[in-house]
Amino acid sequence: MSGLVTAITTGITAFSATNIDDIVILTLLFSQINKTFRSRHILTGQYLGFAALIIASLPGFLGGLIIPQDWIRLLGLMPIIIGVSSLIKREEDSPEEAKEETEPSCPSIISSFISPQTRNVAAIAFANGSDNISVYVPLFANSELDSLLIILSVFFSLVGVWCYAAYKLTYLPAIAHFLTENGNSFVPCILIGLGVFIVTENFNWTLFSVISSYIFSLILGFNTQPSSEEQ
C-alpha cells in the first residue's frame, strides 16, 4: 500500500512541477475557442503532445533495467540543477510570447488523420514540455514497472484535469494572472524537491529542500525588486 501511495504522490508531484506552465498556455487556448477551434481540438492535441513526451522519456526506464540503481539515483541531480538554475535566472515569459506560441506550424506524416488545430495544439504541448524529458528520464529510470504504470496512469489522468482546470480558468482571469506571475517562483522549488526525492527517497529531506528553495526564491525576489524599480 505504501508503494502505491508513494507512486501516486510522486506522479502528482512530478506532473504538477513540470506542467504548471501548461495551465497558462491551455487557458490562452481555451480563451480562443470559436467555430473552427473547439475544445476537442485542445484536449486531443494536449494528449497527443504529452504522449510524445512520455515516449521520448521511456528510454530512461529501459536504461534503469541495465544501469545499477545507485547510479540511476544520481540522475536526480538533473531536476535539482534545473530548479536551481531557474531560481537564479528567474526568467518570466510575457503573455505576448505565450500567445505567439499558439500559432505554430507543424507538418506531420499523419496530417490526413487529425485536424490542423489538433496538430497545432500537440506541437505546442510537445515544444512547451520538451524540457520535461530531463525530469521524466531519471524518474522513470528510478521506478519499478508497477510504479511506472501507476505514475503514467496519474500523468494521463492529470492531463484531463489540467485541461478542465484551464477551461474553468478562462472564467477566472485573476487566477490565471496569479499563475503567470508566481509560477516561476514555486515550480523550481518543486523540481528541486523532486530531484532530492529521486536521490534520497526521503520525504523529510524533500520537504526541507522545497521549503529552503522557496525561502531562497523569496530572498532573491526581495533583492531584485529594488534594481527593477530603479530601471
Res 186: pLDDT: 66
Mean of the per-residue pLDDT values of the chain? 74
Res 85: pLDDT: 78
The answer, yes or no, to whether residue 112 has pLDDT greater than 50, is no
| pLDDT grade for 104, boundaries at 50, 70 and 90 | very low
The answer, yes or no, to whether residue 55 has pLDDT greater than 60, is yes
Residues 166-225: tens digit of each pLDDT: 888 877 767 666 655 665 666 677 667 767 776 776 767 777 887 888 787 777 766 655
Res 101: pLDDT: 42
The answer, yes or no, to whether residue 49 has pLDDT greater than 80, is yes
pLDDT, average across residues 152-156: 95
Residues 16-43: tens digit of each pLDDT: 888 887 887 788 788 778 888 888 899 9
pLDDT, average across residues 44-57: 90
More confidently predicted of 161 and 228: 161
Q: What is the DSSP code string of the chain?
A: -HHHHHHHHHHHHHHHHHHHHHHHHHHHHHTT--SSS-HHHHHHHHHHHHHHHHHHHTHHHHHHTTS-HHHHHHTTHHHHHHHHHHHHH-----HHHHHHTTS-----TTTTTS-HHHHHHHHHHHHHTGGGHHHHHHHHHTS-HHHHHHHHHHHHHHHHHHHHHHHHHTT-HHHHHHHHHHHHHHHHHHHHHHHHHHHH--HHHHHHHHHHHHHHHHHHHHHHHHHHHH-
pTM (2 d.p.): 0.62
Res 126: pLDDT: 83
| pLDDT grade for 76, boundaries at 50, 70 and 90 | low
Res 50: pLDDT: 92
